[in-house]
Structure 1
Amino acid sequence: MNNQLDNRDEEGMIASILAGDTQLYHELIRPYERSVYMMALTYMKNEADAEDIAQEAFLKAFRNLASFRAEAKFSTWLISITLNEARSRLRQKSAVRMESIDEPVEEGGSVSPAMLRDWKEIPSETVERGEVRQLLQDAVTSLPEIYRGVFILRDIQELSVNETAEALQISISSVKVRLHRARMMLQKQLAPQLRQVAPKSKRRWMPWS
């Protein structure tokens, strides 16, 4: 999440909102509106549902602002609310088979670096093509939920490992393992498709080439 307010500014704004200056809430959430919407869209795969999720997340954050712990980051807390709302909506709609967030993850053993170290390594001129953007979005939304959330927070929202662990309420080691697995899944799915649409002259930049 870029363009965030300084933590001290956020603390002051939250205090003012709780004191009755509710109009400030729009300024508080403004830096996070797109990030929250994109997070919801990746889960829901539907713009209308994503807008509903984002709106509900902001409303719930406002209603529960008094319970926000100042030692945490507002953005992390807001992401947690968004994730919970998206999961709840998916369960209600029974649109997809949800995997338990408590599913055991093998923490032990060595984890070799994923070949797809960062989806942003794909050349920008390739990503800008609509067909490639759609391939990337479809691939991310197809990830099992426990891996999708970590990938979105770390590689798209660019939260730190600690912030991701806090938002998902899992251990730091689980974040690292799940991110590695998410990248490997995406590599396996995207490699053959991107070879077809990416210019041959640019393939030397592809991490799996």
Structure 2
Amino acid sequence: MKQNSEKLILAACSGNKQALEQLLIVSQKDIRRFARKTCTTSEDIEDVVQIALWQIHRKIGTLKTIKAYTSWLFRIIERECYRLFRSRLSKNTETESNLENITTHDSDLNLRIDLINAIMTLPPIYRQILIIRDIEEYTAPEAAKKLGITIEAVKSRLHRARSMIKEKLTSQIFLDE
């Protein structure tokens, strides 16, 4: 992040309306780019850009650190893309029979159980970082501070934890077949 952007974010967090307006303009390109990678349709992209800009406008004052701005912004975009995808999916599945919905619910429940079991089998240092980052949604710097480790260690442990979960779930799928 450029120093000018950091100053803009800091001023916007402090309540400077002009800085906030400028930040919204500057951020729009990054929001659109990330939304294109994350959302499934062009309509969703447009909706997410508007929602993200609105969230920045409403909640910029709640930002804890300037360094968290980018990850906070991308989390908003991811969440909204996923929400729009789920809502479209639920509209499509409403036409399915009750039996198919029950089967889908059962498989979701089984996946959740498998995921919880996989998380519980992780060594404590990996389970801890996975929970802090992916469930409690701490930023990498916040997690590093909470655990007393470097940001690089947070990223490394999180990558390893996710890989271990993926391996566990993939092997479980092959065992079930």
With structure 2 as the length reference, what TM-score do the two structures score?
0.49
**TM-score, normalised relative to structure 1:** 0.43
If each structure's helix is expressed as a fraction of its own residues, which one has the higher value? 2
Larger Rg: 2
